[in-house]
Structures are given as C-alpha cells and as structure tokens.
Amino acid sequence: MKITEIAKFLNGEIFNIKEDEDITSAKSIYSATKGSITFLSDKKLLGQLKEIKASAILVSQPIEDIDITQIVVKNPAVAFYKLIELLYPEEENKEYISPTAKIGNNVKIGKNCYISDYVVIEDNVEIGDNVKIYPFCFVGKNTKILNDVILYPNVTIYKDTFIGNRVIIHSGAVIAGDGFGYYQEDGKHKKIKHIGKVIIEDDVEIGANTTIDRALTDETIIKSGTKIDNLVMIGHNCKIGENSILVSQVGIAGSCNIGKNVILAGQVGVADHINIGDNVIVTAKSGVGTDLPPNNVYGSGIPAIEWKKWKKILVYIYKLNELFKK
C-alpha cells in the first residue's frame, strides 16, 4: 500500500513527502525499517532516538526536525491501530468441522464455522455462525454460543453457559466451574452444589487462564463490552457491568456487583458482596473491602521505594500507636 493511499485511508495530511513508497509493515518507532510505517506517541522520544528508519511516521502535527515522510492525523496511536487491521487482515474462516471433533447429540452448528481437531462439544449445545473453536476446547452440555465467537486452544466451558456475539476467550480460561462454597457439618466442609450458570454478553474478551465461576442458583454475568485480562478470578454470582476493564490477576470474590466503565487495575482484590459504582477506577494492588460510590478513583497502592528507606519508615509504622500515646 502506497503512503498516499494510507494517508487517504486515515484521512490524514501528508507532510514532507520523500517518495511515495510501498508500506509493507507496521512497526514501533524503535524497530521500524525501510518499508515500514510507525507512529509518534510522545515528542520526547525524538530527543532520545538517534534516528528513525521508518519510511513514514504518523504524527499529530508536522515536525520540522525529522527528515521522514509524515502523515498528520488527529490521534496517531489510534490511526496506527486501524492501519494494522488494514495491513494485516484476519484470515477468513474456512467452513470446516474436523472429523476428530466429538460432537454430541442434538448439537446445532451455524454457517461458516471452523471446529478444529480434538474439540469436544457435549449434547444440546447451540453454536451460531462464523464461530472458530481451536483444539482441546471443551463445551459442556446445554451451552449456547452466538455468532463470531473465537475459543482459543484449551478453553473449558462447563455446562449451561451462555456466550454472546463476538466474544473472544483465550487459552486456558475456565468458564462456569463450580463456585467456591461450603457449609459446615460435623466439623467438615460440605460442598454446596452450584446449579446456576455463567452469562457472557456480547463483545466481551476473556484473557488466558482466567476463571469465572458459575452461580449458586442464578447467574454470574459479564455484561457487554467488558474486557478481562489474563489470570483474573471472578467468583460465583458476580455481576460485572458494561465496558469495564479488569486487568491481570484481579480477584473478585463472590456476589460482587461491579458497575459499568469500571477499571480495576492489576492485582486488585475485591471482597465478597461488595458494590462498586459506575466509572470507578481502583489503582493496582488495592484491596477493596467496602462499597465504593461511583465516579471516583480509589486506591491503596504502596509504591516500592528503596528498601533501606522503607525499612526505617516501617519501624515507625509498627509503633505508631505507642508513639502517639506518648
């Protein structure tokens, strides 16, 4: 694709054009070479880099100092992401059901699906159109999967699950395993049978090795547009609102109610039965133990400082009550 064509596609203006080269790859500003296009995320980088070898660069305003063909766009990063989709188109699904896929009784599979080798689909499953299921995925009975879903290798979906349109589930994720619940009898933990289900709405993405447990009797729900990173844990009966972001290693205990447009940063933990309002941001590693009202930022991150310095402070923290009594 020519630089001029890219500019047209991005609705951008060309500045300082050297030659209308063919662009064959998208690269970062550090690794770009002749034939590749890149973008400038931060003007400070220009001072740090000796040279930029890209054939073209996306910028938010023309830069006189650099002798590269520039395409001026409103948001260079977003323009770059859109360009990637154009330059690296997804392969079309070829309609195929592997003879090694084990398909149960009364399973419906829509048009143009790709069911790969060594997939197991149990009885009474319904699968929509354009669904792609990679090897070693297990889809439990009575599960319903809508259109344009991708299950990467080694995904496990226990029975009775609902998966909405355009959901992507990455490898090793486990959907609808039993909730972690026991009652006491004769000094022992007796398992509480979980007969509820998991509902994953449209446009949700679920990261690798994330686990989402089934509800006791009702539903664990991930609402549409929410994106979940790797190694996240979502307990039984949780409701996660629309368009929220759960970063890696977040853990949410049972029966929480998380609002929409919420961001829980990495390794945040949320205790059970907590309500978090809409548009809340919780900073990394926070432990949320009380309800959080909407439209605010909460956190208890302790940024690591030099250990020697922290040790001295720690001495005072651990005798704070004595010190103040004096």
Contacts of a second copy in 160-179 (CB under 8 A): 168, 170-172, 174, 177-178
Q: What are phi and psi of 303, to 5 degrees?
A: -65, 135
Beta strands in 138-260 (DSSP E): 138-139, 144-145, 150-151, 156-157, 162-163, 168-169, 174-177, 182-185, 188-191, 197-200, 205-206, 211-213, 219-222, 227-228, 233-234, 239-240, 245-246, 251-252, 257-258
- 44-67 burial, b at 16+ Cβ within 10 Å, e below that, comes to eeeeeeeebbbbbbbbbeebeebe
Residue placing its CB nearer to a second copy in the complex, 111 or 190: 190
Query: Is 236 in the active site?
Result: yes
Cβ-Cβ contacts under 8 Å for 26 (sequence gap 6 or more): 36, 37, 38, 80, 83, 84, 87, 88
At which residue do the structure tokens 């490898």 appear?
Answer: 171
Binding mask 204-243 for a second copy (x = CB under 8 A): -x-xxx-x-x--xxx------x-x-xxx-x-x-x-----x
* Binding of residue 302 to a second copy (CB under 8 A): yes
Look up residue 272 and give its amino acid: D
- Mask for 9-48, x = binds a second copy (CB under 8 A): ----------------xxxx-xx-----------------
Task: Looking at residues 184 to 203 of the shown chain, list those that interact with a second copy (rule: CB under 8 A).
Answer: 185, 187-193, 195, 203
**d(Cα 320, Cα 290) in Å, to the nearest integer?**
24
94 binds a second copy (CB under 8 A): no
Q: Note whether 310 binds a second copy by CB under 8 A.
A: yes
Q: Is 128 in the site for a second copy (CB under 8 A)?
A: no
Catalytic annotation, pick one of 170, 189, 194, 236: 236
Considering CB under 8 A, how many residues would be counted as binding a second copy? 110
Least distance in angstroms from the C-beta of 180 to a second copy: 4
d(CA 262, CA 281): 6
- Shortest spacing between CB 261 and a second copy, in angstroms: 8
Binding piece for a second copy, criterion CB under 8 A, among 14-22, 48-56, 66-74, 249-257: 249-257
Q: Which is nearer to a second copy, 74 or 111 (CB)?
A: 74
Is 263 an interacting residue with respect to a second copy (CB under 8 A)? no
Comparison of 64 and 90: residue with beta carbon closer to a second copy:
90
Q: How far is the CB of 246 from a second copy (least distance, A)?
A: 10
Strands 13-15 and 69-72 turn out to be antiparallel
State which residue, 62 or 313, has the beta carbon closest to a second copy. 313
298 counts as binding a second copy under rule CB under 8 A: yes
- DSSP three-state, residue 115: strand
DSSP secondary structure letter of residue 41: S
Q: Which of 5, 84, 95, 295 binds a second copy (CB under 8 A)?
A: 84
Judged by beta carbon, residue 70 or residue 236, the one nearer a second copy is 236
d(CA 207, CA 264): 15
CB of 66 to a second copy, least distance (A): 19
Active-site residue set: 236
